Structure 1
C-alpha cells in the first residue's frame, strides 16, 4: 500500500513579495553607481543650499541647513520611490527581465511588495545617513519629542508607499528603458521646484502653490517641515498651519489611486511586444 506525501501549500503573495524584497535589496547594494546617487544626491544638495544661504534667517531663528533638511528628506523619499521605480521597472521591462518573471508563480502583487520593500529599506538608510550628516556636520537640531517622531513615522510610510505605487504606475509611460530617465526626471524636477524643496515654499507664486497642492511631494515636504522645524515656524506657512490632516488625506488618496492604476496598467512586457 503506497502513500502519497501531502503536498506543501504554495507560498502566499506576501511571502513571495518579502522574498523578492530580499533579492531586490541585494541587487540594489551591488549597483555602486545607483547606490552613490541614491544616498548622496540629497546630501550634496543640502550642503550646497546650506552654503549658498548661509547667514540667512528663515524666521523663528531657523538657519538654511535646518530649513532645507526636511525638503531634502522628502525629495530623497520621492527620488528613491517614484523616480527610481519608474526608471528601473521600465528598464527591467525593456531587458525582458519582467518577461522572465512572468513565467514564474510570482504575481504582480508580489512584485509590487518587493519593490515597495526595497524603497522602504533604502529610504530608511538614506534618511539615517542624511540626518547624521545634517546633525553632526551642519548643526541641525534633531527632534527629541516622541510626538514629532510619531508624525514622522506616518508621513514617511504614506510618502514611501504612495511614491512607490505611483512610480510603478508611471513606469509604463516611457516607451523604452533608454527613454525612461528622459521622461521621468523632468517630472520629478518640476515637482521639486514647485513643492518647496529648493525654495522657501511661502515665497513661491500663489498659482504655483495651488498647482503643487495637487501632488504628493508638496504634502510630504510640508509634513517633514512640521517634524524638523520649530513649532513657531508653522505661522510662516501659507495656510498658517502644517495642515497635517489635509496632507494625510492627499497622500492616502494618491496611494489608493496609484495602487489601482498600477494594477490596471502594469505590464510584464513592452507595449510593442504584443
Structure 2
C-alpha cells in the first residue's frame, strides 16, 4: 500500500489533472470577452444598432399609434419588443455564425482543437460571451426606451417572469442556431454575405420593423416558421397591455406556442450542429 502511494503521486505530478470543463469554460468566457472588446467596430455595432433603430423609428413615427378598436399603443412602445428580440438575434445568431466561420477559416479552431481544452469549454465560452453581451445590450435598450421615449416598464412579477424565460430561451436558441449555421459559409470572408441577408429578411417579416398584424398573410405564415417572430411576440406580451393581444393573428399571446417553437429550433439546431460542426476548413481535410 505504501509502495504504490509514491507511484500514484508521481503519476499525478507527471499528468496533472485538468480543471473541469465548466471552469475552463469560465476562463474561456474571459478570453472571448477580451477579444470581443478589442474589435471596436463590432462592439459599437452590436450595442448601438438596437438603440439607433429605436431612436430612428420612435422619432419618425412619434405620436402615431399601432392598433385599432381602442387597442392602439404608442409606436415606441410597440416597437420596443421587436428591437429586444432582434438585438438577441444579432448578438447570438448573427455574431456567432460569422465569428466562428472566421475562426475556422483563419485556423483558430484547428489550433484550439490541438490543445487540451475540451470542446465543451470552447462552446461554454461562446455562450458566456453571448449571455453577457446580450444582457448589457438589452439593458441599454430598456433604459433608452424608458427614459427618452417614456415607454412604461412592466410593473408585475409575472410579466418580468415571462420576459426572463423568453429572453433566456430565445438567447439559447439563437446561440445554438448560430453555431450550427456557422458551418454553412465556405470561408470567413463570405460569412457576412451569407448570414446578414438571412437576418435582414427575418427582421422585415417577423414584426420587428413593421406591425406584424399589418403584414400580408403569406408573410406572417413564413415568419411563423422561424424563431424571431415568436421572440418578438413573446416580448410584446411583456411590454404591451393585455388588450393588445387582440392584435395578434391568433388573438392571444400564444406563450405555449412560443416556447414550443423556440425549443424545437433549439433541439434541431443542436442535433444539426453536433453532426455538422467542423474544426477545420473544407480544404484542410
TM-score interval w.r.t. the shorter chain?
over 0.9
Rounded to whole Å, the distance in 1 between the matches of 2:276 and 2:128 is 21
2:79 pairs with one of 64, 68, 72: 68
Larger radius of gyration: 2
Rounded to whole Å, the distance in 2 between the matches of 1:258 and 1:85 is 13
Q: How does 1:99-118 map to 2 (within 5 A)?
A: 99-118=110-129
Corresponding residue number in structure 1 for 2:38: 30
Whether 2:199 is the aligned partner of 1:223: answer no
1:256 pairs with one of 267, 270, 273: 267
User: Which whole-Å deviations, capped at 9, do the CAs of 1:90-139 have from their partners, x for residues lacking one?
Assistant: 11111111111011122332222211111100000000111111111111
User: Which whole-Å deviations, capped at 9, do the CAs of 1:50-88 have from their partners, x for residues lacking one?
Assistant: 112112111334111111111000000000000000001
CA RMSD, aligned part only?
Answer: 1.4
Q: Compute the TM-score of the two structures, normalised by the length of structure 1.
A: 0.96
Structure 2 residues without counterparts, runs of 5 or longer:
none
Corresponding residue number in structure 2 for 1:141: 152
Corresponding residue number in structure 1 for 2:61: 53
Secondary structure, counterpart of 1:3 in structure 2: helix
Q: How does 1:98-247 map to 2 (within 5 A)?
A: 98-247=109-258
Rounded to whole Å, the distance in 2 between the matches of 1:252 and 1:124 is 20
**Superposition deviation, residue 180 in structure 1:** 0.5
Whether 2:6 is the aligned partner of 1:3: answer yes
Between Structure 1 and Structure 2, how many residues are aligned? 274
Asked whether the equivalents of residues 108 and 263 of structure 1 are also in contact (C-alpha less than 8 Å), the reply is no
**Superposition deviation, residue 162 in structure 1:** 0.6
Structure 1 residues without counterparts, runs of 5 or longer:
none
2:279 pairs with one of 263, 268, 272: 268
1:14 pairs with one of 22, 29, 33: 22
Rounded to whole Å, the distance in 2 between the matches of 1:22 and 1:259 is 24
User: Which has the higher mean CA deviation after the structures are superposed, 16-25 or 147-156?
Assistant: 16-25
Rounded to whole Å, the distance in 1 between the matches of 2:274 and 2:23 is 19
Moved over 4 A (4+): none
**Superposition deviation, residue 12 in structure 1:** 2.6
Q: Compute the TM-score of the two structures, normalised by the length of structure 2.
A: 0.93
